[in-house]
Structure 1
Amino acid sequence: MYFVLCVLVVFLTSACANGVTSSGSQNELSEPYRLALDELISTDTALNENIEYISLDFDKELPLEDSDKQSIERYLHNKFNVKIYNLTYEQLVKEELYDQGGTTLKGILLKIEKQEQSDNKNSITIEVTKYRSNQGALSAKVTLTYQDGQWKIVNKIPTSES
């Protein structure tokens, strides 16, 4: 009887752990932000040449927890193997993280301007900006939907490019 009870406890514990892991990853709030940033980084790759860092500037109104921000930072660090900062443009300039007389950053500044959640909780639009210099910047509205257990980009509308 004791053996059957132990097997049952192990089975239930493993099932609960799997349920928590999969539901947490499905609903992880950082995933649509990572996808939107990744999409913008892959646009105009010339802006990415020889970058020394990526700086993330999150709008304070975004519904992101510190753990979501850290997840985004880890993802970008692992993918691009550069230092990740959380500095605004002004802070990057103050830290002297620029080239060519202060006109071009040594890295790229990614700014998440805002997000709009539609009435459908499975759809979100995120406004993101990628900045390297006054002649090297772009922004877009990226719309994502949650389908088949994952977030997918369904539309990207460029809003500015220089």
Structure 2
Amino acid sequence: MKFKHLIVAFIVLLILSACNDGIEPKEHLGEIYSVALDSIMEQDEALSSNMEYIAIDMSNFEELDENDKKEIINYFKEKYKVDVLGATLEQLKEKGLYNPDTMALDGVLLRIENVDFKFNNNIFFEGSKYRSGNGAVGVEVTIQLKDNRWKSKEAKMTWIS
């Protein structure tokens, strides 16, 4: 009986390894993070109204190198035609890009708090889009490889303030 289980396990392992398309997600982090951040950006479009800039908090993007970060910045500049900068909320305040009277940004701040590389080239992100304390959303995004391109499989809001 144990021999049958061993054979079944071996066959399953062979099938799973045959399904691997040889693409290593960590070699495409700039593209993957751009797709994930853009999926967050598309949530609650009212937060984007009259935005003067997009800030992306890259302070916890340890796996990305400088080229990946530049790729993300360029992607957003091209798509949204506004200034794009890598900055935390504190850095935005220091630069005078936070209005203390309205307690809001003149742009939006995108942030990724959690990344989980799943089986079969699916990557799960938890992030947020922030405009003010009363204008922010949390988002869960799943990115997958489809037709040799990284695409958003699902994006859903998990909280709103």
Question: 2:136 corresponds to which letter in structure 1?
Answer: A
Question: 1:60 corresponds to which letter in structure 2?
Answer: N
Residues 43 and 157, structure 2, Cα contact 8 Å, conserved in 1 = no
1:161 aligns with 2:160: yes
Residues 131 and 137, structure 1, Cα contact 8 Å, conserved in 2 = yes
Taking structure 2 as the reference length, the TM-score comes to 0.77
In the alignment, which residue of structure 1 is the partner of 2:54? 54
In the alignment, which residue of structure 2 is the partner of 1:65? 65
Deviation at 1:59, TM superposition (A): 4.2
Q: Deviations over 1:30-67 (max 9, x none)?
A: 12211111112111111111111111112435411111
Determine helix, strand or coil for the equivalent of 1:38: helix
Taking structure 1 as the reference length, the TM-score comes to 0.76
Deviation at 1:98, TM superposition (A): 2.3
In the alignment, which residue of structure 1 is the partner of 2:13? none
CA distance in 1, matches of 2:88, 2:61: 15
The CA RMSD measured in Å over matched residues stands at 2.0
1:43 aligns with 2:43: yes
Residues 30 and 64, structure 1, Cα contact 8 Å, conserved in 2 = yes
Question: 1:82 corresponds to which letter in structure 2?
Answer: V
Question: 2:68 corresponds to which letter in structure 1?
Answer: D
Consecutive unaligned residues in structure 2, runs of 5 or more = 1-22
Determine helix, strand or coil for the equivalent of 1:101: coil
Residues 59 and 114, structure 1, Cα contact 8 Å, conserved in 2 = no
Question: 2:89 corresponds to which letter in structure 1?
Answer: Y
Consecutive unaligned residues in structure 1, runs of 5 or more = 1-22
CA distance in 1, matches of 2:93, 2:61: 24
CA 1:40–1:118: 2 relative to 1, 3 Å: same
The percentage of counterpart residues that share the same residue type is 36
Determine helix, strand or coil for the equivalent of 1:43: coil
In the alignment, which residue of structure 1 is the partner of 2:92? 92
In the alignment, which residue of structure 2 is the partner of 1:123? 122
Runs of 4 or more above 4 Å deviation: none
